[in-house]
Amino acid sequence: MENKGIIFNIEHSSFVDGPGLRTTVFFKGCNLRCAWCHNPESQSFERELLVYREKCISCGKCMEKCKNGFENCNLCGKCALYCPADARRIKGREYTSDEIMDEILSDAPFYKSSDGGVTFSGGECMLQIDFLCELLEKCKENDINTAVDTAGYVQYGRFEKILPYTDLFLYDIKCFDSEKHKKYTGVGNELILENLKKLLASGTRVWVRIPIIPGVNDTADEMRDIKSFFDENGYPEKIELLPYHTMGEHKYSALGREAHVFSVPSEEKMKELKSVFGV
């Protein structure tokens, strides 16, 4: 029986999720709760309705099309479908692997010209490991470059399952101190760092990505701790420092939640932190 997965977005023509031009498939569901998460709709495994009240033009189309009159919403999506202002969006849809592959293969001509491919992201895509593995196998059958974007908070057996079909891992390090990591993400980082050690030792391609969050991990000492980890366990192919941005904050109010607001790091601060790694 073909596996199915819950996906909240498929982005075409991405240049930020690995090498070349890529199709990025965003899996829904995550076992971290990063305070700076810019995709809060990725956290729950359930379908969700986002309501952007600032876009609403009070036309009444959503109410007119809703069979329940907004009572006992079953997330049928008709309010979003008929909203002319795009003020209502349903996030989360169940796909078969063949449906996802149709999306991926439609972009295949662009992969070859740019050395690109497909990236499976999230949420945490490795929480839907059987579906992920099926997709990776099908990509390999079609000679498509694959990348897995992960926070690494899963048992290493899941990595072993997909290693034969994964060309590149995009691996997050959020905070090096475990207590701080738990404060801002909800979990400690011992398992994450142990998995990274094993991945680096396996010889597979790894790019480490560090989100820079002012007031959380934006110090040279923090970066030196991470560098010391690499000195001891081996270096990834690439280290990327990613500045915090505010583009996801409006999604929290659309979900009826309150966002944690951080400042954006300055260019000078980013240069200082990058210099620790010589990048």
Domain segments of the chain as ranges = 10-47+92-277, 53-88
Q: Which residues pair with 223 in a beta bridge?
A: none
**End-to-end C-alpha distance for the chain, whole angstroms:** 47
Q: Which residues pair with 23 in a beta bridge?
A: 118
pTM metric for this prediction: 0.95
Please state, in angstroms and rounded to a whole number, the distance separating the CA atoms of residues 132 and 221: 36
Q: What is the DSSP letter of 259?
A: P
Q: What is the DSSP letter of 247?
A: T
pLDDT for residue 68: 82
pLDDT for residue 126: 98
Per-residue tens of pLDDT for the chain, all 279 residues: 678 999 999 999 999 999 999 999 999 999 999 999 999 999 999 999 999 999 999 999 999 888 887 778 889 899 999 999 999 999 999 999 999 999 999 999 999 889 999 999 999 999 999 999 999 999 999 999 999 999 999 999 999 999 999 999 999 999 999 999 999 999 999 999 999 999 999 999 999 999 999 999 999 999 999 999 999 999 999 999 999 999 889 999 999 999 999 999 999 999 999 999 988
pLDDT for residue 1: 61
Give the strands of the sheet with 4-14, arranged side by side.
Answer: 93-96, 4-14, 22-27, 117-121, 146-150, 168-172, 206-212, 238-243
Please state, in angstroms and rounded to a whole number, the distance separating the CA atoms of residues 170 and 181: 19
pLDDT for residue 279: 82
Q: Which residues pair with 26 in a beta bridge?
A: 9, 121
Superfamily of domain 10-47+92-277: Aldolase class I (3.20.20.70)
The radius of gyration computed from the CA coordinates of the chain, to the nearest angstrom, equals 20
Q: What is the DSSP letter of 40?
A: G
Chain mean position to CA 129: 15
